[in-house]
Copies of this chain bind each other. A is one copy, B any other.
Amino acid sequence: MTGRDGGAELTPIDPSPVVILVRPQLAENIGAVARAMGNGGLFHLRLVAPRDGWPQERAWRMASGAHRILDSLTLHETVADAVADLHRVFATCPRPRHIIKPMLTARGAAVEIHAIGARALKCGILFGPERAGLDNDDIACADSLIRYDLNPDFMSLNLSQAVMIMAYEWYIARGPEEPPRSLQTNGAEVATKYELENFMEHLICECDASGFLKNPQKRPGMVRNLRHFFQRGEVTGQELNTLHGIIAELARGRKPEA
């Protein structure tokens, strides 16, 4: 699932929210976050007091080409500084206590973030440190909370996975959505019904010749079942050619015996 020099192509799809990593611990995770942001079309990254300082070579190694995101990020001493120019701030936060704030799913937040962006307001999303998550002072800088709808029996969510889910939901919510089901026909020429019928005639003709359809009571049902089978999905011209060849070959093999 690698992309070719995808990093060079990365540009902001604006308005896109700012991802703010609060006191991140591992440079590898910062790199993996940049990669996940690239996957989901996010671009703007801010770091608040990264534990091991910044820059860190290991982040670039983990970014898998999302270098422009790392090259463009900004460094901040406090959450307040990191959110100062933003109009709306969301905090990802598994189970806060004694707080009254709007609580959104990742999907609900994605829709809201697009609506805020459409009003030309700037949004940010806070992600806490790997072990402890955001503390109460961090959360006090946010307007709304985001809680992921995931298995409550196993909440240990990797930082870059948390960013991935949010970026994924944001990318989908930008609309128009892809249809949930379609047929993959990339590069394959779909056979016309005429070509399919031509094949069916060939098949039935040889089935008749072989005696396979010799029972006149059963023949109509058997032909119908064959039609159903070959109509089940789109067939390519290439596949029909192959099937024609098989039938011709099988018929040739039979004829000398007859």
Contact = CB atoms under 8 A, between A and B. Distances in A.
Given A161-B39, A164-B165, A180-B105, A235 B100 contact: yes
A206 interface: no
B159 A100 contact: no
A67 to B, nearest CB: 11
A6 B100 CA distance: 27
Contacts of A96: 184, 186
Contact of A158 (B32, B97, B102, B159): B32
B103 A154 contact: no
Contacts of A168: 148-150, 165, 168
Classify the interface of chain A: helix, strand, loop or mixed.
loop
Nearest to A238: B98
A155 interface: yes
B100 A236 contact: yes
A41 interface: yes
A65 interface: yes
Interface string A181-213: 111111110100000000000000000000000
Q: Give the 5 A-B residue pairs with the shortest CB-CB distance, closest first.
A: A108-B180, A103-B184, A38-B154, A6-B154, A3-B155
Given A39-B156, A100-B234, A149-B168, 4 more contacts: A6-B156, A39-B154, A40-B151, A161-B161
